Amino acid sequence: MAQMTKKPMAHSIRRNLKMDTTTRVLLISFAVVGLLLAFLAGKFIYNTVKSWSITSLPGAPVSSPGSSATTGQIPDLNIQSNTGPEAKSWDGKSRVNILFLGLDATDQRELMEPGPRFSDTMILVTIDPLSQTLGALSIRRDLWVNVPGYDYHKINKAHFIGEAYHLPGGGAGLAVATVEEFLGIPIHYYAKVDFNTFVRVIDEIKGVKIEVKEPILADWGANGNNFWLEPGVYTLPGTYALAYARYRGSDAGDIDRGERQMQVMMAIRDRILDFKMLPQLIQSAPALYQDVSDGVQTNMSFDQAVQLMVLISKIPRENFKTYNITYDDAAPEMITTLDEGTQYILRPFPDKIRELRDRVFASEGVAAAPIVMQSGGDPLALAQAEGARISIFNGTSTNGLAEATRDYLTSQGLHVIEASSASEAYSYTTLVVHSATPYTLAYLSSLMNNIPSTRIFNQYDPQSTTDITVFLGTDWATANPMP
């Protein structure tokens, strides 16, 4: 197919809009769905997942832009999935993590090969209200990891195992547990979105603006109907945006595909939050929300989805950071196993993965979250606001060092819950991280004589009563800032 003609983004006259509560909530929720879809724009094919249905929404949409609204009740909907894992508690103020899943399934494949599916796309998104940042990590499906209770497999098999063995929480539950263990972080929510929903949302917002940087042979219908997309700037409709995000024929393969997924995500974000789109979105929000809900499965409640969108809408575009697991973080390898035979895997380097995770979770924003605005991004202020629970153990012969360190950190506004003696001696101070608390980790490692990564260990435990354990060494006893 020849190169497409450049098309300008749809333009509407800016006007003051009076929205009733129902329509406003629907619009926000629609934007949430759009953002979720963008993350899952990888190898989606037709009808990936269709297991979430919602009753008709009360209230009425605005009949035309600028017209008076009909007031309706706020939808009291619970969109909790009946088959996935339960959502973790989130207070709306602390960091929240979401795992997005896309399944390797099509209508034809469901007919020919019904049964459990592998997850083709896995993307972890972390949002920090404190620093107003959003980080997104594309997780390579060939990563060789421990699947809790089922030995080592490619990470995309976790969903298959959870479905095949009818585990509590199903495939999503085991996929969430696997990623939690792999990265050492808690995951509050998960979401699955299908191909048709992605295309529908893109078409509803009149396409997304994409800069194509190299020639791409795209399959726009997932049916072998290929076309060349030459370098240039385009406003792509849904099927073309999907084909662009799915393409993996470049030299870097999955790595480039991950970058294109993030590019599409940002394009959807820009389009939805463009004020000129509001009149059209307000009109179509109720019907569209009902339509796309058939292609979404999640453990987020309706209110939680709205809360997330309000949070996301406040994050500056430049504070959206995207990351990919590359060959610097995992080595390609061919292995042979009894159940799978010979297969291609990516064997992760634990230290590199931890460093990458810390970059994702400690992204610094260029614009002002309240705490950054007041403190200038002071590391101590960020650690204070994070509220991590710290346990301290004295591994030296200096009596009372743990208690003195506790008192000092407490005077700095940190939360120390325990101070005692270690069971063995430590020459150098060591940190053990039990949950994702990057600001506290950064502050402590800097305070305690710049602890290197070789003495920082990840032992993720969602049941742990402490977030960071500190084993004090002789280096701290002989050189510290305590009075």
**Span 9-24, average pLDDT:** 33
Residue 316 in any domain: the answer is: yes
Q: Mean pLDDT across the chain, nearest whole number?
A: 73
Band (358; pLDDT cuts 50, 70, 90): confident
pLDDT of residue 165: 92
Residue 16 in any domain: the answer is: no
* Range among 30-34, 108-112, 246-250, 402-406 with highest mean pLDDT value: 402-406
In degrees rounded to 5, what are phi and psi of residue 134?
A: -130, 125
Q: Residue 18, exposed/middle/buried by CB under 10 A (0-12, 13-18, 19+)? A: exposed
Tens digit of each residue's pLDDT (9 = 90 or more) over 25-70: 334 344 444 444 444 333 232 222 233 333 233 333 332 233 333 3
One domain for residues 293 and 420 = no
One domain for residues 285 and 166 = yes
CATH number, residue 35 = 3.40.630.190
pLDDT of residue 41: 35
Measure the CA–CA gap between 422 and 287, rounded to whole angstroms. 61
Identify residue 14 by its one-letter amino acid code.
Answer: R
What's this model's pTM, rounded to 2 decimal places?
0.62
State what percent of residues in the chain have pLDDT above 70: 66
One domain for residues 175 and 230 = yes
Helix or strand holding residue 25 (H, E) = helix 21-39
Lowest mean pLDDT among 3-17, 180-194, 201-215, 272-286: 3-17
State what percent of residues in the chain have pLDDT above 90: 25
pLDDT of residue 283: 64
Q: Helix, strand, or coil here: 158?
A: helix
Q: Are 475 and 401 in contact (CB under 8 A)?
A: no
Q: Which residues pair with 320 in a beta bridge?
A: 134
Residue 119 or 333, more confident: 333
Measure the CA–CA gap between 374 and 308, rounded to whole angstroms. 24
pLDDT of residue 89: 75
Residue 10 in any domain: the answer is: no
Residue 405 or 5, more confident: 405
Tens digit of each residue's pLDDT (9 = 90 or more) over 363-422: 554 433 333 323 335 788 888 888 899 999 999 999 999 999 999 999 999 999 999 999
Q: Helix, strand, or coil here: 207?
A: coil
Which token pair is 3?
């190169």
**Span 463-470, average pLDDT:** 91
Residue 461 in any domain: the answer is: yes
Measure the CA–CA gap between 38 and 344, rounded to whole angstroms. 28
pLDDT of residue 377: 57
Lowest mean pLDDT among 72-81, 95-104, 165-174, 263-272: 72-81
Residues 6+ apart with CB under 8 A from 404: 482
Residue 48 or 166, more confident: 166
One domain for residues 358 and 392 = no
Lowest mean pLDDT among 32-41, 112-121, 130-139, 202-211: 32-41
One domain for residues 355 and 394 = no
Domain count for the chain: 2
Residue 213 in any domain: the answer is: yes
Short-list 132, 170, 433, 467, CA closest to 311: 132
CATH number, residue 444 = 3.30.70
One domain for residues 349 and 386 = no
One domain for residues 78 and 123 = yes
C-alpha distances in angstroms, 204 versus 122, 291, 402? 25, 12, 60
Alpha-carbon torsion (453, 328, 126, 140), positive or negative: negative
Residue 7 in any domain: the answer is: no
**Span 65-78, average pLDDT:** 33
**Span 283-307, average pLDDT:** 68
pLDDT exceeds 90 at position 130:
no
pLDDT of residue 194: 65
Residue 1 in any domain: the answer is: no
pLDDT of residue 13: 24
Which of 367, 390, 412 finishes a domain? Answer: 367
Question: What does the radius of gyration of the chain's CA atoms come to, in whole angstroms?
Answer: 24
Which of 367, 392, 409 finishes a domain? Answer: 367
One domain for residues 220 and 240 = yes
One domain for residues 141 and 252 = yes
pLDDT exceeds 90 at position 141:
no
**Span 142-153, average pLDDT:** 93
pLDDT exceeds 70 at position 433:
yes
Which of 304, 332, 367 finishes a domain? Answer: 367
String of DSSP letters for 331-373 = EEEEEEETTTEEEEEEEE-HHHHHHHHHHHHTPPPSS--HHHH
pLDDT of residue 420: 96
Residue 418 in any domain: the answer is: yes
pLDDT exceeds 90 at position 154:
yes
Lowest mean pLDDT among 79-83, 199-203, 272-276, 410-414: 79-83
One domain for residues 350 and 451 = no
One domain for residues 270 and 414 = no
One domain for residues 443 and 341 = no
Give ∠ CA 462-310-200 in degrees, rounded to 5: 100
* Owning domain of residue 446: 378-478
